[in-house]
Amino acid sequence: MDRSAQAQHYLGRLRREALAADREIAFRGFMARIDFDYSLASLDRIDHMLASIRESMRLDYAAFLSKQPAVDFVVALNFYIGTTIARAGNFALKWIDHAQARQFMPELPQQLDFDLGCILGDRIVFPANVVNEALFAPRVERTCGGYARSLIEQLTAGGQRLPDALQRPTAADAAASALPRPMCEALEGAGFLGAWVMATMPDGGAFAPVMLRPGPNGMHEIVDVGTFSSNLEETLAHARSTLESNPKGLPYQALAYDGMINLPAGRRDAVVIELRHHACRPPLALTMTLPYRARNDREGFANYSPRPMACSHSGPELPAIHHAFYRGLYKMNGFNWDAQLIEE
């Protein structure tokens, strides 16, 4: 089980109904009193729990962590604290193991605290180390809540916040759009391409790159570019070159390919959409990601809120650009974007 899947497994064990039936995790009675709602206040409640355990039990580090229920307790809190920080600060989150962490920190000790690391924004952190300090250190200098708030402040100051997920546009948003009609057509076409890929991708999620371009009679034409080469990197390089150079002089083109994105909830599969609208001045370049959960996942298919990653245009027209892209997601007949949407 990779670290992302492991994180989801342990976070699932912290749901109230799961905790009530879990006989394999230490301090279940203490844990059941906490509402694990991913708020910073919940970390303060964890601090109170850890202080109570420390004062009442005087635990020995080695003896405690020699038992699997105790390890599960620390591991579950580790994943919860890291995820809560990522969600509260809107930071990219990627879970890593000890070997991956040592690529950046060669002197890292081999112990549980440092086997459960994550990359938050541009920082490698070890939430389990804070938990174990609260339980075992001769002098406790950090709390989970204080650690989280300090880290959020530092990462925010360092520009590590992700762009906010897009929210569904309203009728008022569409009415307020002052974008030229050709730009709206390009943006809605890019959104349509994203919905088309979602509707037609294999159960496992992976799909060959495709491009969208204007077709006859105001329709769109979707072209499979996966046949250019059996090598995916060569195929994407060729597609991107076509996107930029626009050899046929088209008003716009969009490229969709399979990717990954690190979100506050963890690493997810994503459809990546790159749009180039050549007919406006200056030309519009937009990159959007559509995170999803594959159909063969045990929880079934889901699509998540779109995440803008880059745009050549900024200022007051940016919300209208995002809204126009989002409207295109509803233009794919036979695919209901809202049916399995999980808004973040």
DSSP string, 2-69: -HHHHHHHHHHHTSHHHHHH--SSTTHHHHHTS---S-HHHHHHHHHHHHHHHHHH---HHHHTTSHH
Task: Kindly state the average pLDDT of the residues 261-290.
Answer: 92
Give yes or no for residue 3 having a pLDDT over 70: yes
Give yes or no for residue 316 having a pLDDT over 90: no
- pLDDT computed for residue 54 by the predictor: 93
Q: Look up residue 82 and give its two tokens.
A: 């890291």
Task: Kindly state the average pLDDT of the residues 90-115.
Answer: 90
Question: pLDDT tens digits for 159-186?
Answer: 999 988 998 877 666 655 678 999 999 9
Of 108, 118, 51, give the one whose Cα is nearest residue 83: 118
Q: pTM for the complete prediction?
A: 0.79
Local confidence band at 71 (pLDDT 50, 70, 90 cut-offs): very high
Question: pLDDT tens digits for 199-218?
Answer: 998 887 788 899 999 988 87
* Helix or strand holding residue 117 (H, E): strand 117-120
Q: Regarding beta strands 341-342 and 302-304, do their DSSP bridges make them parallel or antiparallel, or are they unpaired? A: parallel
Give yes or no for residue 263 having a pLDDT over 60: yes
